[in-house]
Structure 1
């Protein structure tokens, strides 16, 4: 990549991340857990399940996994801190999903973008009935099991606010303007953003894991041929494929 490349990634609260991954990837089934609350059962002794059935993708320190690291090499605080320092040298912006609008304003300034460049709709979110309640005790066990991720998240959560403090003092107003612009687009494009099943255009339907209900979008009739509206509600896989096709066309590759 060119020397002036801006590298960007994102982190999420490890408790929410692990609960989501556990349901999304069906770890209860993969770890042969028959109890009704598979997440709670797993958290009572996660290392025994991993030892018996193997470590699954995103089953342990998922944030570090996505950055290319193996949990087996992140056993000490010293090693984790050293790895985080290395990541600091790579990434110009580390967004925080839990503070998404604020993160996008930071990204906007880093890339010299306009507000419309960072507008968004929330894609691939689960219906509330597919979200499992996590007790305080379970949350503590998740943090203990994903200790490296917790340290990573805490570091970049602090870093986000530190970097925001260096922006012009109007950055908070930019956050509010982004929320307003998102709402304007939603009102112009979308009839429903909590739709499921056949309500959703099949070309705009994301992956539906077994037993998990993923929200989709129903466009207003007047917005169905609007390129911006359709792209705003397109799930990540078909959207990525469209980007790839656009790049291939530039190279005249069929």
Structure 2
């Protein structure tokens, strides 16, 4: 017992030491960049003006972090007609493998998580997994903390949930009430400055703090400025910590992970240590292929199982160039996300070294070769404007970002068509299809009286 206690204390001390080192580093970086905020201008330039859509306007109501478009909730039947006839042929074409363990994937915002989710959707459908779906729409009542009651009932004939990968704000104790004890817990993080820029672009009209900044661009003196540059000039004046929908407006990854995203406090080291112990793998977007190889090792997957196309990519005209001044301000405003990312980046490479760097390099080469082969078979055009895509494969659009998609090759066999459509199928369409397949009905829309005010 004494040795076990001593081992535990040494491990805790290691985590605390690493955390304190990262905290000091962040503070020194903030102090060093403070002069940039005082001496540089505040212009943040867009890469270009968004091109006008051709044909029909496919824009829908703003993408709310806690809601889904009502027009999508009843679309499962249309997806079903295209996908279900080929599902069995796809399953029969794949040899029987060891059944993967149950997986819970914390889908963080604008980190590459939709690409991972698509991979897990395909895996789950192939394995006839039982999905833990939200009771309403596509998210677990985000931005509320996850609760077990947010999950739809276990389908008849199923003994447990095998896969959970819809948006939530993490609560580990509640999650463990839903998933089996041997669940593999995974998430993904992305470099914080690019994450925030993407979150701001995608949710400008649905996060109140961002909307107020956008409205402020109409004031005298702000005419030629972007909403992001106006927000960064004085973020505290736009952000309301008591407004749940403003959770993504400061340290969004920390918020999704269930941490205090407002400011550093005494609970942070212990909370971060609990996350480090709970997650089997925290993927890193900047090392995506390496992350997938480690994920494949956890789940017993082959390189062809991990093939992917990047989902929810924005048009270049919607991406904001971050100059030194903007980067300094973003780093200051999202200091906790920087700490979170740096901590798990080190943990990621520790896991990679344990896995074996040469072995990892070989795995990445195999994954890329398999992915290129599958993309060549399936995709006729990438980065396709939504106006040129049919409804089935058109990603959901917001009024502040144009999300690009993929066109599947024609003249494919029925089996290949089923596989290739799934490869590029956007989140909402795939979500609806799997829900209908599991429950035999369309997803429920969120009742009006349950929407956050």
Partner of 1:63: 253
Contact 1:224 1:230 in 2 (8 A): no
Partner of 2:342: 154
SS at match of 1:7: strand
From 235, 240, 244, give the equivalent of 2:431.
Answer: 240
From 194, 197, 200, give the equivalent of 2:386.
Answer: 197
Distance in structure 2 (CA, Å) of the matches to 1:103 and 1:209? 29
Partner of 1:220: 409
Cα distance, 1:158–1:245 mapped onto 2, change above 3 Å? same
Instruction: Please give the TM-score of this superposition, normalised by the length of structure 1.
Output: 0.90
Summarize the alignment of residues 45-194 of structure 1 with structure 2, pairs less than 5 Å apart. Answer: 45-51=234-240, 54=243, 56-72=246-262, 74-76=263-265, 78-168=266-356, 169-194=358-383
> How far is 1:175 from its partner?
0.5
Cα distance, 1:48–1:190 mapped onto 2, change above 3 Å? same
Show CA shifts across 1:122-155 (max 9, x none).
0100011111111122112111111111111011
> How far is 1:52 from its partner?
9.9
Instruction: Please give the TM-score of this superposition, normalised by the length of structure 2.
Output: 0.52
Distance in structure 2 (CA, Å) of the matches to 1:106 and 1:118? 11
Contact 2:386 2:395 in 1 (8 A): no
Pair 1:9 & 2:187 matched: yes
Distance in structure 2 (CA, Å) of the matches to 1:111 and 1:104? 10
Q: Which runs of 5+ in 1 are unaligned?
A: 250-254
Distance in structure 1 (CA, Å) of the matches to 2:439 and 2:403? 31
Distance in structure 1 (CA, Å) of the matches to 2:326 and 2:314? 20
Say which structure is richer in helix: 1
Q: Which runs of 5+ in 2 are unaligned?
A: 1-178, 441-453
Contact 2:188 2:285 in 1 (8 A): yes
Distance in structure 2 (CA, Å) of the matches to 1:207 and 1:246? 21
Cα distance, 1:186–1:30 mapped onto 2, change above 3 Å? farther
Distance in structure 2 (CA, Å) of the matches to 1:149 and 1:224? 46
Contact 1:80 1:148 in 2 (8 A): no
Contact 2:259 2:271 in 1 (8 A): no
Contact 2:241 2:247 in 1 (8 A): no
State the structure with more CA Rg: 2
Cα distance, 1:222–1:150 mapped onto 2, change above 3 Å? same
Cα distance, 1:241–1:189 mapped onto 2, change above 3 Å? same
SS at match of 1:94: strand
Contact 1:6 1:92 in 2 (8 A): yes
> How far is 1:112 from its partner?
1.6
Partner of 1:252: none
Higher relative contact order (CA 8 A, sep 6+): 2
Q: How many residues align?
A: 247
